[in-house]
Chains A and B, each alone.
Chain A
Amino acid sequence: MSNTPDDRKYADSHEWALLESDGNIRVGITDHAQELLGDLVFVELPEIGQKLVQADECSVVESVKAASDIYSPVTGEIVAINNDLEDSPEAINDSPYEDGWIFVIKPEDASELDNLLDAESYQNLTEDE
């Protein structure tokens, strides 16, 4: 069974979004998603300063099996990216919720997070798949 921490919100497209104390939102993919993808071998990161609308494609993760688009969970501007993933994409497999974060976005309106799923709803979604 996949791990789904209840301190953050989830998109049905398998990203997680964690609201931090400074009001920014950290984003990555879920344990369930990394399990589906298998070994990650490449991550195409967004650029700092890039402006995004909720559900925009902004990054690509590639595993041995497939390439997958990552969508922004909220509207806003990219303020940090995880450069460590360029050399160690496997961090997403090993630590999807901590070391494997992909980017941090400064939201225009953090209440967009309310449109996302809580941990329990996301867990139910993945069990139905």
Chain B
Amino acid sequence: MGFACRPFFVENIKMTKKTILNSAHRELGARMVDFGGWDMPVNYGSQIDEHHYVRQSVGMFDVSHMTVVDINGVQAKEYLQYLLANDVSKLTRQGKALYSCMLNEQAGIIDDLIVYFLNEQNYRLVVNASTRDKDIAWLTKQSDGFDVSINEKPTLAMIAVQGPKARQKVCPILPERLGFAAAEIKPFNACWHGEWFVGRTGYTGEDGFEIMLPEDKAEGFWKQLIEVGVNPCGLGARDTLRLEAGMNLYGQDMDESKHPLESGLNWTVSWEPETRDFVGKQALAQIRQQGGLDEFVGLILEDKGVLRSHQQVVLEDGSRGEITSGGYSPTMERSIAFARVPSSIGKTCKIDIRGKLKDARVVKPCFVRQGEVQI
């Protein structure tokens, strides 16, 4: 047997970083892998079972490897309006969250992130783990001339509890006042008390919470969640869940060589008000004006097999595109993918899988939400 591709088995000898829950994962018999320099659970047995827990009841993920950065200062709002392609002035209610790309001057995507509005002078960002160093460097560089401070919060753990039963399991075991507040917040909003911070957000297409909490409370809370029936899930299931939900993965579906308009992220770019300048705006406006952009689509494999990133998409006119993320959908029991393709794409196409052309259907890249197949 030879591994044709090993996305989760990154071979390197450098020391991997560990989250505060590392020993808890090992006690549960997790299969641990190097995930972007972090020693993380890929599954605790069956990735497919873990996927179904989240779609059908409730599961949880240790996402403490993600980077939390607070932006504080009298010019926090002006700074973020300049830094991000989406406009934080849309955030007017305390706790409201916004998804955005952070672009470079050429409109390439440095990272995607969530920004939470605490108040006009305080915002919280959650950025990817694998991009931590360059993100912090970029945040710092762009802050030149703004009265803000950039405060990373490395001592916060983060647990995502996701699924239709997530809220009913989590609210009763949160610290008391926070539990009442968390029960009331709407999707894409957050509440907090002391160092505990609860966002009704996620990366699975299901309802649920992402909970930031002090590291010394993390293991106790993780074990309490298990006691009330929340199933631990590995990052393997997180990947198939986000793929079904049509959510991009940084480093795979986009990176610094790609801009939002060819990554299915047009909706995250805020062109109004025209008076707002943001990093990459000029380059992106030029790209938009030139036109002829690739499209970002969803694919469903009609034949048997598994779609994988970097497989070639062959259009009816002979032109080609490429799969950016692909895999097996446990909910649909067939293979699905995202692909970047020429705009001449029709309703069907072929995929080159090991030299054989297989039939695929072209759809919007959102396959499953709230337990329901969208196609």
* A interface residues (Cβ-Cβ under 8 A, vs B): 13-15, 29, 33, 35, 38-39, 41-42, 44, 57, 60-62, 64-71, 86
Partner of A61, one of B1, B5, B47: B1
A41 and B306 contact, CB distance less than 8 A: yes
Q: Beyond A64-B240, A66-B7, is A14–B43 a contact (Cβ under 8 Å)?
A: no
Q: How far is the CA of A107 from the CA of B327 in the complex (A)?
A: 36
A41 and B3 contact, CB distance less than 8 A: no
B240 to A, closest residue via Cβ:
A64
A60 and B236 contact, CB distance less than 8 A: no
Mostly helix, strand, loop or mixed at chain A's interface? strand
A68 and B43 contact, CB distance less than 8 A: no
A33 to B, closest residue via Cβ:
B1
Sampled A-B contacts (28; CB under 8 Å): A14-B1, A15-B1, A38-B31, A38-B42, A38-B236, A39-B46, A39-B48, A41-B48, A41-B306, A41-B335, A42-B304, A42-B328, A42-B335, A44-B305, A62-B328, A65-B6, A65-B7, A65-B47, A65-B236, A66-B4, A66-B7, A66-B9, A67-B4, A67-B5, A68-B1, A68-B4, A69-B1, A71-B1
Q: What bracket does the count of chain B residues touching chain A fall in?
A: 20 to 34
Q: Which of B5, B8, B306, B327 has the most CB of A within 10 A?
A: B306
Q: Contacts of A38 on B, CB cut-off 8 Å?
A: 31, 42-43, 46-47, 236
Q: How far is the CA of A65 from the CA of B304 in the complex (A)?
A: 16
B327 to A, closest residue via Cβ:
A64
Q: How far is the CB of A88 from chain B (nearest CB, A)?
A: 12
Q: Beyond A13-B1, A41-B328, is A65–B354 a contact (Cβ under 8 Å)?
A: no
Q: Contacts of A64 on B, CB cut-off 8 Å?
A: 47-48, 236, 240, 327-328, 330
A69 and B2 contact, CB distance less than 8 A: yes
Q: Mark B38-82, 1 if CB is under 8 A from A, else 0.
A: 000011001110000000000000000000000000000000000
Q: How far is the CA of A44 from the CA of B305 in the complex (A)?
A: 8
B328 and A66 contact, CB distance less than 8 A: no
Q: Beyond A41-B328, A42-B305, A62-B306, is A68–B42 a contact (Cβ under 8 Å)?
A: no
Q: How far is the CA of A68 from the CA of B7 in the complex (A)?
A: 12
Q: Is B281 an interface residue (CB 8 A)?
A: no
Q: Contacts of B305 on A, CB cut-off 8 Å?
A: 42, 44, 62
Q: How far is the CB of B167 from chain A (nearest CB, A)?
A: 28
Q: Which of A15, A35, A64, A86 has the most CB of B within 10 A?
A: A64
Q: Contacts of B9 on A, CB cut-off 8 Å?
A: 66
